[in-house]
Every structure is written in structure tokens, then in C-alpha cells.
Amino acid sequence: MAPAGVLAGAVLKRPMRADSAAPHGAARWRWQRILAWALLILLLLVALPVVFPWDWMRGPLNRYVSERTGRHFEITRRLDVRFGFPIRVIAEGLVVGNPEWATERYLVQAERAEVEIKLLPLILQRRLELPWVSLRRPRLGLELLPDGRRSWSLERGEGRERGMQVGAMALDQGSLRFIAPQYGADLRADFVLEGQPKTPDAAMLPLSFRGGGRWRGESVVIEGRAGNVLALRQSGAEPFPAEIYATSGKSSLRAAGRIGSLVGFEGADITLALSGRNLADLNGVTGLVLPATPAYTLESRLRHQAQRWQATDLRAVIGRSPISGELAYDNSGDVPQLTGSLHSRRLDFDDLAPLVGLDRKPARGAAQRNAKAPAASPRSGDRVLPQTRLSVAALTRMNADVQFSADRVVDARPLPLDRIATHVRLQDGVLTLDPLEFGIAGGRVAGDLRLAGASRPVQARLQLTAQGLRLDRMFTAAELNRASAGQVRGRLSLAGQGDSVAELLGSASGEVALLMGQGRISNLLLEILGLDGAEIIKFMMGRDQRVLLRCAAANFAVDNGLMSSRALVLDTADTVIYGHGLIHLGSERVELEFRPYPKDPSILTLRSPLKLTGTLAQLDASVDRAAVAGRAAIAVALAAINPLLGLAATVETGPGEDADCAQVLKQAAMPRQEPPAPPAAPPAAPPARGKRP
């Protein structure tokens, strides 16, 4: 091809024909000149960038960028520019300083850098868009402040709108430090690009990295592999593959999948495996509000889009309890929101013990060792109610709306729980479980719990209603179950304040009521409480150890932790037992007194009262044989039975049974000088002496 100048000269010096004055020839000649000059200019534009000594511009460019950004910028060895769409700039030796407030002196130090620049956003909007950045042997120092300032924003005002935007980055071996005080983060990592991958996996993930530091104040160690091209912003680019292994204390994480963007992990789609000794150990690292648990393992598919993390196909084992379901964590609002549903086929209640301030049972081997050298009890003194402080400080850090259910509950000391279902809501530091449903002893307990964790002390309210609880399933002793029968109903309404279960009950006010229809009980029931049951039954009801019941009822008013009996009555075929007294929930002290009244004077003579004293942990029963049971005082106590009549109307006694608790309570509430007479048609005849019914 002839040079452009020769071609243009040939066109200009071409001899004119005789008829050149003709209009048609003049027009054609004019267009030929225009085309020639256009071709010349085009060739010059194409050739100029190629032959232009761009390295001469290195000094002026260094000064210009330093002046515009207010920080040190220098291409130390060589500058080259390759025109295209977009333009590519090659810098041999690159140093970019950090702003004065940053901890690290330099943002970037690299042996070589290749950068693609979009011209139109730079010219029209003064926005620096870099679709591609390649760094060889870089050292990066990135820092993010709580007020939004970022060390990688190259505008003087650190503005977010016109800061540098990087689409994708290719890295060779180098190092990185990331600091973000608001996240308690100070992380360092070294990365290496494998030159000749030995396996297909290594070819897909040639960039390996290893590092550690602190995240949310917790020590972490991180290592893994990734594709050589890392997407910093999700802009339609193909997500890059990555594998990450991380440990923090006794917790470990493994994640593998694809990530659309390193900025917030947009477009992430990974499989996650997590394990540790306590979920609460992750609160600091994740920013979530997780409960204290025994050792756990967890697997799930995790996806992230628009500040929303979604965990599907979640499978976990906490302690000895398998749990499955799905969860979503949305961080787009002022307060993060956790939603989802969880289900367990078999829930070991011992794994929930830390949630309610109870202590987990020691392992069998540990229990044997402790038997030889008993350790001090975590409860103060001989207390039964849990003293452990409730972990509510983190309740204000997020909101939640989670459904939870368990088909089967095992090891539910001391309650015979069958199943659990509840709807957990956490809003502005207030935790509610509504509805809260339990399967207990073949029956059902339903109600709601409200816990205001933002207040000090904690404010709590609990309302429960029990239906159809079978007495023969309330206790683990098989002999006791065979000797007992009947159904129990009840209601509980309490409100209190405190930082432990013991403090909450010690300040509680409300009501507690229990009612049992027709059935039978055994002296073993009292032996469960640590009393001499055989002696008490013999004293109150004769020699029989199993007694037929017409009705049993208890009603307590609770005021600031003091339970005062409104009514205590147990009606058998031949005896009515009345009681009264106090239970101090704060000190766990018990002061109850029971008086038996035989319906037939030939069966039992007038008895002295039975006193039940001591603490909830150690009850003591004693009989004052010298005391005389006063009749007049009982009439006053009987009038308080009336509140139980409404509850009595709901008792389910089963097919073919008619305990008529309402009638029993009405009779028991009648003040009279003589003991209450037996009903006209008792539900069952009293057993013969010395025989079991």
C-alpha cells in the first residue's frame, strides 16, 4: 500500500483533461478530493496512537492524576495505550496511594497493570468505569469507614456517585489487606496463581488464597481457591467459581459454588457446610441473633440477591436433634429480618435446655466422673428454678418471623412433652411465641409467651391452657402409671420481670388453676415428691394405696411471687381433703396444710392436719396428731372454690365416665358443720380394705 501522503499528492497533481471545466467533471473532482482527505485523516488517526510515544505522557499523567485525586499516583517504568472499545492502558510499575485517613499507605502497588477504560462515562459524566483490571504481583490496601468513605474511591470528596467502578479483576500472586472498623474487620490474605494446574479442578480454580485476621472482633482463618477472573460488580458477567474454608474458634465453614460479585457477594449460589460447638459463637461473626446450643452441624444451599440471603434445603443436627427447613435473611432495612420455617422429627429437649436457663445433662462418662468428685451446682443453694441469666441482650439486633415444630420430643425433664409447635416473632426487641402449643402426657397445652428483652429487667408474660393431660403418662415410673388414671385440665396466667426464670417467677403475678375429674391416684405419687406416701395415705384414707377420685382441684392467686391458695380440694369416694397455704416462688419455700374429713365416721375418725413444708427442692411432710381439726375455719376456705366451677365445666372425663366435678365443687363449697355427705350415686364403689381396685 502506498503511503497516504503519496496517494494524496498523486490525486492533487493529476493532469486535468480538456473538458475539466464541465460541471459534471468538477463535481466528481470535488468529491474525490474530499474522499482523499478523509482517507488521509483516518489513516493518521489510526496510525498516530500506534506510533505515538505514550511513555512521554507518563510524567504529565502522574502529575494530573495526583492533582485530581489528592493522593500519590505514579507509573514508575513504562506507559502504553492500545486503542479499541474500550481503550486499554498498560502500566509497567504502578503505585496508587491511599488517602491520609487510611491505615495502609498504598491502595495499589503492582509490578504490572492492564486497565480497560470506558471513554464516554469519563467524558460525559466524569465517572471512571474500568470493566477490566489485571494486576501482576499486587499489594492492595482497602479500607471502609462507618461514614461511607472508601479508600478505593478516587474522587477528592470520596463521593459515592462518581467513584471508581471496577467490573472484573484478574490477579497474579500478591497480597491484600482489608479494614472495616464498623464490622470489626482487619483481614489479610496472600494469593497465588498456579501456572500449570495439575487437575481439572485446579484449572477451574487456579487462584488460591490464604489469610486471616479479625471479623466482627472474632479471630478468623480463611483459605480457598477461585477463578482467576473475579467479578467485583455484577454487570452481566459470568459468575466466577470459588471455594472457601474458614474457621473461627471452634466453628468451621466450607462453601463452594459461584459468585456474581465480590461487592456484597451479589449473585452468590453456593453450598454451605457449617459446624461448631455452639451456634451462639457465630453471633459476633455473622451479626445474627442465634441461641446457645450444643455442638451442631449444618448444610444448606445458600443464595444471595439484593441484600437477601436465602438458605434452602437446610439440614442440621443440633446436639442429638435433626432439624430441617429453610430460612431467609434480609439486610435491606434498618434492622435485619430473619424469616422461615424449621421442623424436627425428633427433638431432644436437653438440646433446648440453655434456651430456658437449664443445664444440659452431662454425658454418661462425665456423669460417672462427677459422681466420684461432685462439682458445685450451678444453681445457688438448693434451688429448683433456673438461675442462669437469660440471653436477651442481642434481641434488638434483628427482627424475626419463624415457624418451628417438632413431631416428637424426648428427654423432656421433668415434663412428659410429646410435641412442640410455635410461631416465633421478634420485633424491636420483643420476643413473642404465639401460638405456643405443646403435646404433654397425651393432652394439649396451648397459649402464648411474650418477652420484652429491650427493657431492664426483662418483662415477661405467659398464658397457658391445659386440656386432657393423662395422669398415667405424667410420670416415668411404670408402676406409678399403672396405678394412676384420670385427666387433668388447667390454666396459667403469669406476668413478671427479671433476668432469669427464677427472677421472673419470683416477681410474677396472676393465677394458677388445676382440675382433675374422675380417676385414681397412688401413694407413689407422693413418693415422687420425696414424701412417705404409704404412711400419709394410711393416715388420710386408710390402708389402700390406690384411691378412687371423684374430683381434685387447686387454685392459687399469685401476687409478686407469692402463691396463695384460693382452693385446694381432693374428693374421694369416702374422704374429702381440704388444703390451704402459700408457696413463695422467690425463695422456693412451701407452707401448705391439708385436713381430711371422712364422709362415713365409721371409716376414719377425725384426723389432724398434714403439713407440707420445706422448699421445692426438699419437701417435708409432718402430721400434727395433737391438733384438732377446726370445722368453722373450713367453711371460709370452701367459699373460695367457686372460681373453679367454670373450669370444672370443661373437664373431659372420657366415655362412660361422669366425675361431675362441678357438683363436687359445689358441695365442697357449702359451709356446714358436718362433713360433706357422699354423693347419691358415687362414680365407683370404694375398694375393699386390703385390695387394689
Res. 159 pLDDT band, cuts 50 70 90: very low
Residue 303: pLDDT band (50, 70, 90) is very high
pLDDT of residue 263: 66
In terms of C-beta density within 10 A (0-12 exposed, 13-18 middle, 19 or more buried), how is residue 426 classed? buried
**pLDDT at position 147:** 86
Tell whether the torsion through CA atoms of 403, 408, 410 and 412 is positive or negative.
positive
Q: How far apart are CA 549 and CA 522, in angstroms?
A: 11
Give the span between the Cα atoms of 18 and 27, in whole angstroms: 15
Query: What one-character DSSP code corresponds to residue 640?
Result: G
Q: Which residues contact 280 (CB under 8 A, 6 or more apart)?
A: 290, 291, 292, 293, 391
For 6-41, b where at least 16 C-beta lie within 10 A, e where not — what string? Answer: eebeebeeeeeeeeeeeeeeeeeeeeeeeebeeeee
Exposed e or buried b for every residue in 372-394, given b needs 16+ CB within 10 A?
eeeeeeebeeebebbbbebbbeb
pLDDT of residue 158: 47
Q: Which of 263-277, 315-329, 390-404, 406-420 has the highest mean pLDDT?
A: 315-329
Residue 564 predicted with pLDDT over 90 = yes
Provide the pairing of β-strand 546-559 with 251-259: unpaired
H or E element: which one contains 649? Answer: none
Cell 466450607 locates to: 254
CA dist 652 and 675 (Å) reads 28
The model's pLDDT over 22-49, given as tens digits with 9 standing for 90+, comes to 566 677 777 777 777 777 777 766 666 6
Given a cut of 70, is residue 214 above it in pLDDT? yes
pLDDT at residue 235 in the model: 52
Tell me how far apart the alpha carbons of residues 66 and 96 are, in angstroms, rounded to a whole number: 9
Pairing of strands 308-318, 73-82: unpaired
What is the rounded average pLDDT of the residues 288-296? 84
Mean pLDDT, rounded, of the chain: 76
**Predicted TM-score of the model (pTM):** 0.69
8 A C-beta contact, residue 172 and residue 133: no
- Higher-confidence residue of 87 and 106: namely 106
| pLDDT band at 663; cut points 50, 70, 90 | low
**So what's the pLDDT on residue 257?**
93
* pLDDT at residue 49, rounded to an integer: 65
Does residue 11 have a pLDDT over 50?
A: no
Residue 98 pLDDT level (bands cut at 50, 70, 90)? very high
Average pLDDT score over residue span 77-103 = 90
Share of the chain above pLDDT 70, in %: 69
Residue 579 has pLDDT above 90, yes or no: no
How far apart are alpha carbons 197 and 358 in whole angstroms? 54
pLDDT of 203: 52
Of the chain, the percentage scoring pLDDT greater than 90 comes to 31
CA 189 vs CA 230, 244, 683: distances in Å: 15, 13, 81
Residue 421 has pLDDT above 90, yes or no: yes
Selected residue with higher pLDDT from 614 and 355:
614
Quickly state the pLDDT bin for 629 (edges 50, 70, 90): very low
Residue 624 pLDDT more than 70?
no
Q: 114 vs 685, which has greater pLDDT?
A: 114
**Other residues' Cβ atoms within 10 Å of the Cβ of residue 402:** 17
Predicted pLDDT at 42: 72
Which three three-digit cell numbers place residue 94?
A: 504502578
- For residues 660 and 582, the answer to whether their CB atoms sit within 8 Å is no
Instruction: Look at residue 531 in the predicted model and tell me its pLDDT.
Output: 46
pLDDT at 448 over 80: yes
Positive or negative torsion for Cα 157, 160, 165, 171? positive
Average confidence (pLDDT) over 171-196: 87
Report how far Cα 470 is from the mean position of its chain's Cα atoms: 34
Q: Does the structure show a pLDDT above 50 at 345?
A: yes
Please name the amino acid found at residue 16: M
Select from 31, 120, 109 the least CA-distant residue to 75.
109
Q: What is the mean pLDDT of residues 383-387?
A: 81
Task: Output the pLDDT for position 128.
Answer: 76
Whole-number pLDDT of residue 32: 73
pLDDT class for 92, splitting at 50, 70, 90?
A: very high
Asked which of 113-117, 167-171, 307-311, 435-439 is least confident by mean pLDDT, the reply is 167-171
- Give the pLDDT confidence score for residue 50 in this predicted structure: 66
Distance CA 95, CA 493 (A): 70
Structure confidence at residue 379 (pLDDT): 47
Tell me the per-residue pLDDT of 254-285, one tens digit each, with 9 for 90 and over: 999 998 877 667 788 999 999 999 888 888 77
Instruction: Take residue 596 and report the three cell numbers written for it.
Output: 381430711
